[in-house]
Amino acid sequence: MNKKRASPRNNHSRTHGARPRFKDGTRIVVGRNAVREVLRHDPGRILELYVAPGNQERWLAKSELQRSIHQSAIHEVSKHEISKYSGTDSHQGVMAVVKERARLPLKDLLKKELDLVLVLDAINDPQNLGALLRAAECFAVDAVVLSPNRGCGITPIAAKSSVGASELLEIVEVSNLADAVRKLKEAGYWVIAADSGPSSQPLNEFEAPERCVLMLGSEGEGLQPLLKKEADMAVRIEMEGVIDSLNVSQACAIFLHELRRQRKGS
Q: Domains of the chain: which residue ranges? A: 13-99, 106-265
pLDDT of residue 56: 56
Residue 189 has what pLDDT? Answer: 97
When computed from its CA atoms, the radius of gyration of the chain, rounded to whole angstroms, is 22
pLDDT of residue 10: 41
pLDDT of residue 194: 95
Give, in words, the CATH class of 13-99.
Answer: alpha beta
Query: Which residues in 55-121 belong to E strands, given as ranges?
Result: 73-76, 94-99, 116-121
Superfamily of chain region 106-265: SPOUT methyltransferase, trefoil knot domain (3.40.1280.10)
User: For 240-251, what is each residue's pLDDT tens digit?
Assistant: 887 877 899 999
Distance CA 230, CA 227 (A): 5
Report the predicted TM-score, pTM, of the whole model to 2 decimal places.
0.83
What is the model's pLDDT at position 13? 44
- Give per-residue pLDDT as tens, 109-151: 999 999 999 999 999 999 999 999 999 999 999 999 999 889 9
**Residue closest to 55 by CA, chosen among 8, 28, 84, 95:** 95
Whole-angstrom Cα distance, residue 103 to residue 170?
7
| Per-residue pLDDT tens digits for 1-27 | 444 433 333 444 455 556 666 667 888
In whole angstroms, how far apart are CA 104 and each of 107, 137, 168, 173?
Answer: 8, 16, 13, 8
- pLDDT tens for 58-79 read 555 555 555 555 545 788 889 9
Q: Integer distance in angstroms from the first to the last C-alpha of the chain?
A: 81
Q: How far apart are CA 188 and CA 152, in angstroms?
A: 29
Provide the pairing of β-strand 201-202 with 190-194. unpaired
Closest CA to 149 of 179, 177, 117, 118: 177
Residue 27 parent element (H or E): strand 26-30
Residue 9 and residue 134: Cα distance in Å, rounded? 39
Dump pLDDT digits (tens) for 33-60. 888 888 888 888 888 888 888 755 555 5
> In whole angstroms, what is the distance from residue 201 CA to residue 111 CA?
30
Could you give the C-alpha distances from 103 to 31, 78, 165, in angstroms and in order?
A: 22, 32, 15
pLDDT in tens, 142-197: 999 999 889 988 998 999 999 999 999 999 999 999 999 999 999 999 999 999 88
Collapsing DSSP to helix, strand or coil, 240 comes out as coil
